[in-house]
Structure 1
Amino acid sequence: MKNEACYENQRVKNNAGSAVDGTVVWSIDKLFWMGSIFTMTLIGCALTLSLENFLVFIITTAITLCLGHSLGMHRLLIHRSYQAPKWLEYFLVHCGVIVGLAGPKGMIRTHDLRDWAQRQPQCHDYFSHQQPMRKDFIWQLFCDFKFDSAPTVEFEAEVEHDKVYYWMEKYWKWQQLPLAAVLFFLGGIEWVVWGIFARVSISVLGHWLIGYFAHNSGEKHWHVSGAAAQGFNIKFASLITMGESYHNNHHAFPGSAKLGINQGELDPGWWVLKVLEWLGLVGNIKLPDDLPPRNELIEINNPLHAFNQSEAES
């Protein structure tokens, strides 16, 4: 396998910014948003537990995580690892917005600043998830990082000047309402509790948990030389994360639309993407072999390399 392109985060401009110096501060917005969601989930789910409601939760969570967070926000909007018509891009990103983490520009900014920090020789524990789990939970879900000297994030014109993305960003919390209305019409307030509040709660918690473990332990086939934080593959979580738990693969090949790149790695997001390609809805899908070399990427006992070598010899 060829190595990937020398990956540079084109949106983050350093401007002498430091990935170490800064303070973790409480976020009133996050405290209100997540506090409200968690409270409604705990109370509502305790009063309305049933198999039907749980299935509503499973279905809505799977759809929004796969189409929205994985395919829409991450692989398409942030990394542009494939192309889609604008109407489909808007739909997928909207599904990502209602996961409940942030709007499109907020997701790009959060992702790219963390990505930039992790690729520096040193970075704050906030970005590398190096504090004990309880502290990291509070930091990630209820706090922000205030840089002493912050880099700037410059969005590409197709995002910065897009009126649809402007609207999505400005009203991202309110975009739960259309789905909530549909759920209320079909199943009443119980479906709203499980399809909105429980879904958002678990999606946000799951996003944090995978981020925490995927930067601390798991399988590692690639090492990014000079980077303060390394990614690990959490293989057992691949199905429930739609393939997003292969974080070592993603640190190595951030431009790849396929995250489960090694033999036996299940990647539901990739399966859905291939269906969309078969339907003629997406194209220009990028894989690791499509990307130019990356000098800082070091292979470590990679099973895919051994698998391809055995194929070549046979």
Structure 2
Amino acid sequence: MASAPDSSPVIAGDKLTPGWLKIGWLYLMLAPALVWGFSSLSGPRSLASAVLTVVTVGFGHSIGLHRGIIHRSYRCARFTRGLLAYLFVHTGLGGPLSWVRVHYFRDYWQNRVDCPAYFRYDHSMARDYYWNLHFALKSGDIGRYEIPDEDLHDPWLAFLEKTWYLHVLAAAGLIWAFFGFEAMIVCVPLRVSVTILGHWFVGFVSHKYGYARYDIDDAAEHGFNNWVLGALSFGEGFHNNHHAHPSSAKMSTAWYELDLGWYLVALLRAVGLVWDVQVVGHAPTQKARAKEHKFRWHWPWQD
């Protein structure tokens, strides 16, 4: 049973508490995925799961929640914003407001030299798995994080925050009813398990290993870029670029960096669903404290 870490990894006033819903949900998805996932795989089911991943993780998480709601890298109609937030819910990652809050918490502390251990990446992968997938941060002073009221008190986001898991379970029931048990296993528990663990893994690795071309003055974390993870995660693996250009809808900054999320943004712009798109090199997206330098590499064997 999870209990708060003995030595506090957060700043006084904030605290970690066991995220019982987070824990239960992870293993509720992971258990059937491990038991039936491999035997349920087939070409059509795998393709359907991949399409759902693009729709939910690509459009919902990377484009809708991360670049859109959190970083405001483009403008869109309220309906589009709400639809993308709904697609995020079907990633199975959790409630949108929980993710908005923790992103603001992380950005605030990682851009300070007194960043607490929970948001630094100088610990092991096992500890990071334990902390980030089993605990939730409760802030003693949420006002210092300057989260926009329009997000915290958005009625649609609040509704999705309370009901997100019901939407995922309802989708699982519909897929089971119309396409069978195996299709449900591949398209929901297996896909959600890969999404949760993949998101955590990309976040961990892209803060520790790869190459960086930017330093952020007086910041504890600068992030790193990784070609493979960047391509697989819709650009989220180009984290050093993102730390330096947080308001850019394009996370790649060089020709050899494949940001598939950027192509999704470009598609939405082409059909008129988003506009005023902020792009590195074409808009003032670079943080004032970010300084460009020659490549700096960090590999696991350098720890």
Q: Bin the TM-score by the shorter chain.
A: 0.7 to 0.9
Q: CA RMSD in A?
A: 2.3
Alpha-carbon distance between aligned partners in 2 of 1:84 and 1:52, rounded to the nearest angstrom: 34
Deviation string, structure 1 residues 117-141 (Cα, Å, up to 9, x no partner)? 1011122222123211111111111
Q: Say whether 1:190 aligns with 2:182.
A: yes
Corresponding letter in the other structure for 2:187 = G
Give the equivalent residue in structure 1 for 2:64. 72
Q: Say whether 1:232 aligns with 2:224.
A: yes
Give the equivalent residue in structure 2 for 1:123. 115
Kindly tell me: are residues 36 and 222 of structure 1, through their superposed partners in 2, closer, same or farther at Cα, counting changes over 3 Å?
same
Alpha-carbon distance between aligned partners in 2 of 1:25 and 1:163, rounded to the nearest angstrom: 26
**1:202-221 alignment runs, 5 A limit:** 202-221=194-213
**1:155-166 alignment runs, 5 A limit:** 155-166=147-158
Alpha-carbon distance between aligned partners in 2 of 1:195 and 1:293, rounded to the nearest angstrom: 38
Percent identity between matched residues is 30
Give the equivalent residue in structure 2 for 1:175. 167
Deviation string, structure 1 residues 178-212 (Cα, Å, up to 9, x no partner)? 43244234421211111111111111111111111
**1:140-159 alignment runs, 5 A limit:** 140-145=132-137, 150-152=141-143, 153=145, 155-159=147-151
**Structure 2 residues not aligned, in runs of 5+:** 1-8, 296-303
Kindly tell me: are residues 293 and 144 of structure 1, through their superposed partners in 2, closer, same or farther at Cα, counting changes over 3 Å?
closer
Equivalent residue for 1:110, pick from 102, 111, 132: 102
Aligned-pair distance for 1:109?
Answer: 0.2
Q: Say whether 1:92 aligns with 2:84.
A: yes
Contact 2:214 2:244 in 1 (8 A): yes
Partner SS for 1:288: coil
Q: Say whether 1:35 aligns with 2:36.
A: no
Q: TM-score, normalised by structure 1?
A: 0.83
Partner SS for 1:220: strand
Kindly tell me: are residues 109 and 229 of structure 1, through their superposed partners in 2, closer, same or farther at Cα, counting changes over 3 Å?
same
Kindly tell me: are residues 47 and 277 of structure 1, through their superposed partners in 2, closer, same or farther at Cα, counting changes over 3 Å?
same
Higher relative contact order (CA 8 A, sep 6+): 1
Alpha-carbon distance between aligned partners in 1 of 2:198 and 2:102, rounded to the nearest angstrom: 17
**Structure 1 residues not aligned, in runs of 5+:** 1-17, 303-314
Deviation string, structure 1 residues 139-186 (Cα, Å, up to 9, x no partner)? 111123456x54435543433443222211111111214432442344
Partner SS for 1:298: strand
Equivalent residue for 2:239, pick from 247, 257, 274: 247
Q: TM-score, normalised by structure 2?
A: 0.86
